[in-house]
Amino acid sequence: MSDLNQEMAARYKNNFLKEIEEQAEMGEWVKMCMQCGLCSGSCPTNFHSGWDHPPQEIFMLIRAGKREEVLNAQGMYMCTSCYNCYVRCPRKVPVTHVMHGIAEYAYRIGRAPKNQPTMHLSKTFWTNATKHGRVNEVQLTQSLYFKDGIGAGIKKAMEMQKEALGLVKAGRLNPMEALGMGHKCKDVKGIHAMLAKAEELEAKNKAAKA
Amino acid sequence: MAETKTAAYICKGCEIGTRLDTAALVKTATKSGKMNIVREHDFLCSAEGVAMIQNDIDNEGVTHAALCACSRRAKTEAFNFPTIAMSRGNLREGVIWIRPDTDAARETTQEMAEDYVRMACAEVKAMTVPPGNQKTGTVKTLLVVGGGMSGMTSALEASKAGYKVVLVEKSAALGGWAAKLHKRVPTREPFKSPEDNGVADMVARIEADSNIKAYLNATIAKTDGAPGRFKVDIAIESGAIAQEDVGAIIQATGFTLYDANKLPEFAYGKTPNVVDQAGLEALAKAAAAEGKPIRRPSDGQPVKSVVFVQCAGQRDATGKHLQYCSGFCCNTSIKQAMYFKDSNPDIDTVVLFTDLRTPGNGEDFYRAAQNKGVIFSKGVVSQVVPSGNACTVKFKDLILNEDTEAQADLVVLATGVVPNSGVNIDAPVAAPAAAPAEAAEGEVAGEVIATIAPESILNLTYRQGPDMPQFKHGFTDSHFICFPYETRRTGIYTAGPVRRPMDILQAQEDATGAAMKAIQAMENAGLGKAAHPRAGDLSFPTVRLEGCTQCKRCTVECPFGAIDEDEKRFPLFNESRCRRCGTCMGACPVRVISFENYSVNTVGSQIKSVEVPDEFSEKPRILILACENDAYPALDMAGMNRNEYDPFVRVIPIRCLGSVNTIWITDALNGGYDGVMLMGCKHGEEYQCHFVKGSELGRYRLSKVGDTLKGMNLETERVHDLEVAITDIATLPQKINDYAALIKSFPPSPFKGF
């Protein structure tokens, strides 16, 4: 266990709800859930095997103070950000954001699982998109294909060959992106400056809470 | 009395004139109807048409008029002739609008119209103008029984409307349960915090109100009389009896909390740290008086954690406890959780619920509690185990589907309500000992109305029993679907949680409504008019006592307890208590009960006036007796929608299925009708009958008709009882047609031509 995890556990003792409210983004909404289950009923993922706890169960676990169960849960990483639950929640709980907030908190205190696919995608996408201010689709695809090793990557690439060629022919995919070329943002420096500022503000914000 | 002079008027408006041969109708009214004057008019409800009728009344001395135009439910303002007896022949909604305008249909449509003209003529000749009930009482003082939130509200509202009020309270102080509350659920924006219970202000207003006379430590020893002239004996503290004359009564006797001693699994009584909601109010009140936090009863230490158990002994499916939801306890627990959170946010407050029900603006209140940090968990509590000064609450978490537990210094049980509705007059006589065992004196501090009185509350001298009839779960019966204030005793209204579970706000609204209704009842009683639902009706039942056999059916069956028995055991009608449903008339085996404008004869003569074609004509005749409250309007509306039905039916509106005397059915069948269809309202637990029991009693009577049919060698299906709601506009014609098809499949009635 990481130090931060232990530190937080010690600081909030048995009050995990308070920990989430103060530390996780949008965590203050957890108490407002009224357990109607509309979020789970609206989820298009239909809770495939990766889901262990749907949103209202995660909220319930938090309120019941079950810290380990929540931080070990997979549910919050499984969200595809379709915002169905967010739109439908009768209590106007921003369910999608709360799920991301909990996932981010788990990651921050070192409790996120290694090689979690959703998290891997998020990180890869972020690095890719922020580099030039626009997504380099070929490189993003490559890094996802080869996530589990060269063999698996080549196999996947061969499978998708036809679709790729079709996209190239239709002018929707630039093969030159593989070499780091292709479209970029006009003011890359400006984007980087903006992101740096945002990071600085967020760090300040989190430091204030910590 | 002036000489009888009859007149019939045939309207030609609304296409009646083009669809029907009105000249033939005039002939029918003259020859078969034997009316003295018969006139046609192009537009009878016009000013000119009405003036024509008025002129005949004023100058020709017409005393009885048959208006053959539209339904009796239409144009009632134009055709308003209170000085004469009047009937209506329904040629528009009842004939031309439900028949196709085709050559093939013309003959049967015309026959239908002619029969309706004959029926209108026959009916009006059997009627007299009702003079209004002469035995009126004009007392305009309202008696309110119960000085809680509902009773105080009724008293204040009636006083505001300018009426005198006598308020009787059993305990030593006004305020009831509300006075025991530390604070009440908020009634105003933003619905975020408990507010003052408001009792002191109301009590002060009552004490300052010269219209209101309050008796404390008093009960009702006897209630005698009828609306407008009740005589009430009030047993006061000294043991003496005070007498009051009142015009109407509101019973606002409230509820008793369900006895938590019946819940041993929740450790109530085993440890003082388990309380019911009233117990917590007492703790909160005591703590507030000392300016200290709420403390644990066992050792006086401040409470650090509290668990609220919702639905304790309520919504119970096992049959051991209350089956219903008491409606206010979720909001109350939210409020009580706030007592703790508002004083110290670090106190753990958990509400364990299965369905959180927050009526009114409770949803905002619920949200406010969540924002204050009250934890709401969906769970069912199985057991509370006391251990030292704490308790372990064992429950099943319904979201996580696991058995778990919580520790608490204090456990609060939401136990729900039992109505204080007095004696169950419909209970089997042999069971006084089996009367509700809730009589055990509660130990809780808030127990003012300490017992569910197996003794009577109103002590009515009515033949049918001393208290208000009860409905489900012991709550007093009131017309819950259509007319929620109306009970089964005219001029006596029940208000507040004695009628159904409700919170303070709902009870106050209920009490205000009941006060308005009671005022209306007193005023109508003074004028000799009926109360709801035939408000303003001047007719009343009269009985020919020389023919009475003292069978008591009328006194037993009257749904409103209007008929007592005199010393010689003859029925004694209290006209002011009567709702004019005619159930007594339907019940009477010797047919001695009648109304001036509605009697065995007014309907019987209509039945006999219909021309029944012989058995070779292939024109059956089907009599429909339709309840005027639901079935008849549904038929009218079917006509407005041009939903066609069979031309062989003849519809007669009746006041209630309960008023159907079986003689009408035997007369119709003996007279050659091929079938009789009865249309009445739904009865039973979800009754829609305007007269509550009328349709049920009517149907019971009809269930015996089968034997009569067998005795006449007729198919029992020839008499058909149909349950009709006012909304059955589209389906009703089909049901009529189906029944007509069935009748046509039988051979013609063998009684034709006799």
Confidence band, pLDDT 50/70/90 cuts, at residue B735: very high
Q: Find the domain containing B553 and state its range.
A: 542-593
Q: Specify the range with the lowest mean pLDDT, choosing from A39-48, B36-45, B333-342.
A: A39-48
Instruction: Specify whether the backbone of A139 is left (phi greater than 0), alpha (psi in -120 to 50) or beta.
Output: alpha
Tens of pLDDT, residues B82-101: 999 999 999 999 999 999 99
Strands (E), B388-483: 390-397, 402-408, 410-413, 417-419
Please tell me which residue of chain B has the smallest CA distance to A52: B400
Q: Specify the range with the lowest mean pLDDT, choosing from A82-86, A204-208, B419-423, B451-455.
A: B451-455
Which residues in chain B have their CB less than 8 angstroms from residue A61's CB?
400
Q: Of B370, B399, B404, which has the smallest distance from its Cβ to A31's Cβ?
A: B370
Q: How many CB atoms lie within 10 A of CB A173?
A: 18
Residue A23 lies in a domain: yes
State how far the Cα of A74 lies from the Cα of A58, in Å rounded to an integer. Answer: 10
Confidence band, pLDDT 50/70/90 cuts, at residue B454: low
pLDDT tops 70 at residue B441: no
Which residues in chain B have their CB less than 8 angstroms from residue A57's CB?
399-400
DSSP B94: T
Residue A85 lies in a domain: yes
Which residues in chain B have their CB less than 8 angstroms from residue A63's CB?
375-377
The tokens 């537009």 sit on which residue? B43
> Which pLDDT score is estimated for B618?
87
State how far the Cα of B74 lies from the Cα of B133, in Å rounded to an integer. Answer: 26
Of residues B360 and B432, more confidently modeled: B360
Of A86, A113, A140, which residue sits at a domain end? A113
A34–B376 CB contact, under 8 Å: yes
Helices (H), B577-720: 583-587, 600-609, 631-640, 662-670, 694-702, 705-711
* Residue A70 and residue A88 in one domain: yes
Tens of pLDDT, residues B22-38: 999 999 999 999 999 99
Q: Tell me what percent of the residues of chain B surpass a pLDDT of 90.
A: 85
CB of B305 within 8 A of CB of A14?
no
* Residue B465 and residue B450 in one domain: yes
* Residue A164 and residue A101 in one domain: no
CATH number for the domain that contains residue B68: 3.40.50
Give the gap in angstroms from C-alpha A4 to the nearest C-alpha of chain B.
25
Tens of pLDDT, residues B115-161: 999 999 999 999 999 888 777 889 999 999 999 999 999 999 999 99
Give how far Cα B148 sits from Cα of B200, B359, B430, B449, B496, Å.
12, 21, 33, 10, 9
> Which pLDDT score is estimated for A2?
65
What the block records as the tokens of B328 is 């206010």
* Residue B546 and residue B503 in one domain: no
Tens of pLDDT, residues B522-568: 999 998 888 888 888 889 999 999 999 999 999 999 999 999 999 99
Q: How many CB atoms lie within 10 A of CB B180?
A: 18
Give the gap in angstroms from C-alpha B395 to the nearest C-alpha of chain A.
13
A56–B404 CB contact, under 8 Å: no
> Which pLDDT score is estimated for A206?
78
* Residue A131 and residue A68 in one domain: no
Q: In Å, how far from its chain's centre is CA B15?
A: 40
Give how far Cα B236 sits from Cα of B167, B213, B215, B600, Å.
12, 13, 7, 48
Which residues in chain A have their CB less than 8 angstroms from residue B378's CB?
35, 60
Instruction: Specify whether the backbone of B739 is left (phi greater than 0), alpha (psi in -120 to 50) or beta.
Output: alpha
B367–A91 CB contact, under 8 Å: yes
State how far the Cα of B580 lies from the Cα of B597, in Å rounded to an integer. Answer: 11
pLDDT tops 70 at residue B436: no
Q: In Å, how far from its chain's centre is CA B166?
A: 25
* Residue B60 and residue B168 in one domain: no
Confidence band, pLDDT 50/70/90 cuts, at residue B459: very high
Domain count, chain B: 5
* Residue B355 and residue B281 in one domain: yes
Distance spanning both ends of chain B, measured CA to CA: 37
Of B415, B430, B448, which residue sits at a domain end? B415
Average pLDDT over residues B283-300: 94
Q: Tell me what percent of the residues of chain B surpass a pLDDT of 70.
A: 96
Residue A173 lies in a domain: yes
* Residue B200 and residue B332 in one domain: no
B372 touches chain A (CB under 8 A): no
Residues with Cβ within 8 Å of residue B439, at least 6 apart in sequence? B451, B452, B454
DSSP B315: S
* Residue A106 and residue A171 in one domain: no
B376 touches chain A (CB under 8 A): yes
CATH number for the domain that contains residue A108: 1.10.1060.10
Size of interface A-B (CB pairs under 8 A): 32
* Residue A139 and residue A102 in one domain: no
Please tell me which residue of chain A has the smallest CA distance to B356: A34
Q: Of A32, A56, A60, which has the smallest distance from its Cβ to B370's Cβ?
A: A32
* Residue A13 and residue A88 in one domain: yes
pLDDT tops 60 at residue B446: no
Residue A207 lies in a domain: no
Helices (H), chain A: 3-12, 16-23, 38-42, 55-63, 67-72, 84-88, 95-108, 117-132, 137-145, 150-159, 161-169, 188-209
B400 touches chain A (CB under 8 A): yes
pLDDT tops 70 at residue B724: yes
* Residue B350 and residue B445 in one domain: no
Tens of pLDDT, residues B460-506: 999 999 999 998 899 999 888 888 888 999 999 999 999 999 999 99
* Residue A102 and residue A127 in one domain: no
B397–A63 CB contact, under 8 Å: no
Average pLDDT over residues B691-708: 91
pLDDT tops 70 at residue B402: yes
State how far the Cα of B311 lies from the Cα of B669, in Å rounded to an integer. Answer: 57
Q: Which of B129, B50, B35 is CA-nearest to residue B538? A: B129
Domain count, chain A: 2
Average pLDDT over residues B373-378: 94
Residue B535 lies in a domain: no
B376–A35 CB contact, under 8 Å: yes
A64–B356 CB contact, under 8 Å: no
Task: Give per-10-residue mean pLDDT for chain A (210 aa).
Answer: 80 88 92 92 80 90 92 89 94 95 92 86 91 89 87 90 92 85 86 94 82
Of A113, A130, A158, which residue sits at a domain end? A113
Phi, psi (rounded to 5 degrees) for B242: -105, 140
* Residue B204 and residue B335 in one domain: no
Q: Find the domain containing A167 and state its range.
A: 117-202
Residue type, B185: V
What the block records as the tokens of B369 is 């509690």
pLDDT tops 90 at residue B440: no
Of B366, B393, B415, which residue sits at a domain end? B415
Give the gap in angstroms from C-alpha B524 to the nearest C-alpha of chain A.
49
* Residue B508 and residue B576 in one domain: no
Which residues in chain B have their CB less than 8 angstroms from residue A35's CB?
376, 378, 399
For residue B719, list its beta bridge partners: B676
> Which pLDDT score is estimated for B431?
41
> Which pLDDT score is estimated for A114?
84
> Which pLDDT score is estimated for B725?
94
Confidence band, pLDDT 50/70/90 cuts, at residue B76: very high
Confidence band, pLDDT 50/70/90 cuts, at residue B429: low
* Residue B35 and residue B125 in one domain: yes
Of A113, A148, A180, which residue sits at a domain end? A113
Angle at B377 between CA B372 and CA B383, to 5 degrees: 125
Q: Is A59 strand, coil or helix? A: helix
Please tell me which residue of chain A has the smallest CA distance to B376: A34
> Which pLDDT score is estimated for A46?
76
Of B129, B149, B169, which residue sits at a domain end? B129
pLDDT tops 90 at residue B451: no
B353 touches chain A (CB under 8 A): no
Angle at A83 between CA A81 and CA A89, to 5 degrees: 135
List the single best residue of A15, A35, A59 to mutate versus B (max B Cβ within 10 A).
Answer: A35
Angle at A55 between CA B404 and CA A88, to 5 degrees: 130
State how far the Cα of B10 lies from the Cα of B66, in Å rounded to an integer. Answer: 9
pLDDT tops 60 at residue B233: yes
